[in-house]
A and B are shown apart, each in its own frame.
Chain A
Amino acid sequence: MRWYGVSLNTEMNARTMAGNDGEPTAAAAESCAREASAIARILAGERELFHELIRPYERGLYVAAYSILQNEADAEDAAQESVIKAYKGLKSFRGDAKFSTWLMAITLNEARSRLRQTKGDQFDSIDDCDEERGDYTPSMLADWRYIPSEQLERKELRQALREAMACLSPEQREVLILRDVRGMSIAETAEATGVSEGLVKVRLFRARLSMQKLLVPKLAPKQRGFMGWLTRKAGGR
């Protein structure tokens, strides 16, 4: 099935309201203005407003932290800690970046720091700082049967996706989550992760091709089809 031209993650892109080139739409500009106004009021003493300011982003912060730490309890703690750090450091937010990008950068730093404490320096491996794309060969197949999102109700599919994600490097998981889960633009992803846009594109390329390579053999075994695999994994239910 071909579906070129279909916008990827429309819901996410609508939420961040920025195009691929990072140019803000009118709705995004309005949202930034509302946030700037809320931040000014919080700094002036209406501190309770901070709860509302972060509410749209809290799920994304958890998912980003989880992408690095791969552990629910650690990711939750890191997300909580980064929100507290953002509150205490709100005065230092200058508005050069979007508030959501600034908040995400704090969360990524918090999660990276925890990862370093527990597992040593896993970030910025030589391979993932190299802007050469390398020679990636995807899983070859003659046809792809579209898997609708409704199939995510099956835990076997969700588990397969999470297991594939766990096989990526932390740097690759990070950009995949920001771009393809949170719908951030390339420029915002670069800003939040602190690397160049070129490196974001390279990491995305590696992450996406790796996900295809890891998942296609599981989701579309030859002659069996995804539904057959799913049924067998679920014990024939």
Chain B
Amino acid sequence: MMIDCRHVWSQVSDYIDGTVTQGERETIERHLANCRHCSAVMDSTRNILVLVGDARTFEVPVGFGERLHNRLQRSMDAHESDE
């Protein structure tokens, strides 16, 4: 089955998630093998998502964990004395 580029773009996210059917996957991959633009769209999207998912992209503020547990402890202590 022949598909156009627009159809591939509409499936990029599901393809990355592996939620397209086997038949759809094969059709998309045949298109990608012959279309450098769609291939570059797929590669760039996946690369960007890997970068977004890296722990370095969204760092927590210094001391976050310590402040969180200190506040939690104070709240736990107060909660216990209320009970």
Give the distance to chain B from A142, nearest Cβ to Cβ, in Å: 6
Q: A58-B65, A76-B64, A209-B45 are in contact. Are A149 and B50 (CB under 8 A)?
A: yes
Give the distance to chain B from A209, nearest Cβ to Cβ, in Å: 7
Q: A62-B60, A83-B68 are in contact. Are A143 and B49 (CB under 8 A)?
A: no
B44 at the A interface (CB under 8 A): yes
Chain A: interface size category: 35 or more
Bound form: Cα–Cα A165–B67 in Å: 26
Is A144's CB under 8 angstroms from B40's CB? yes
A220 at the B interface (CB under 8 A): yes
Is A212's CB under 8 angstroms from B45's CB? yes
What is the total number of residues of chain B having a CB less than 8 Å from a CB of chain A? 48
A133 at the B interface (CB under 8 A): yes
Residues of B within 8 A of A135 (CB): 6
Interface of B: prevailing SS: helix
A20 at the B interface (CB under 8 A): yes
Is A139's CB under 8 angstroms from B44's CB? yes
Residues of B within 8 A of A51 (CB): 69, 72-73
Is B46's CB under 8 angstroms from A152's CB? no
Give the distance to chain B from A235, nearest Cβ to Cβ, in Å: 21
Give the distance to chain B from A62, nearest Cβ to Cβ, in Å: 5
Which of B32, B53, B61 contacts A9 (CB under 8 A)?
A: B53
Which of A62, A80, A149, A162 contacts B71 (CB under 8 A)?
A: A80
Bound form: Cα–Cα A133–B7 in Å: 12
Is A72's CB under 8 angstroms from B68's CB? no
Query: Could you list which residues of chain B lie within 8 angstroms of chain A, going by C-beta atoms?
Result: 6, 9-10, 12-14, 16-19, 29, 32, 36-37, 39-58, 60-61, 64-65, 67-69, 71-73, 75-76, 79-80
A sample of 19 more A-B contacts (CB under 8 A), given A59-B60, A140-B40, is A2-B39, A6-B46, A9-B53, A47-B80, A63-B58, A66-B58, A79-B68, A80-B67, A136-B9, A137-B9, A138-B12, A139-B41, A147-B51, A153-B56, A181-B53, A201-B17, A201-B19, A209-B12, A209-B13
22 cross-chain CB contacts under 8 A: A1-B43, A3-B43, A4-B29, A9-B49, A20-B19, A50-B72, A72-B61, A80-B67, A84-B71, A142-B40, A144-B44, A149-B50, A151-B51, A152-B51, A161-B51, A162-B57, A179-B17, A180-B52, A201-B19, A204-B17, A208-B49, A211-B52
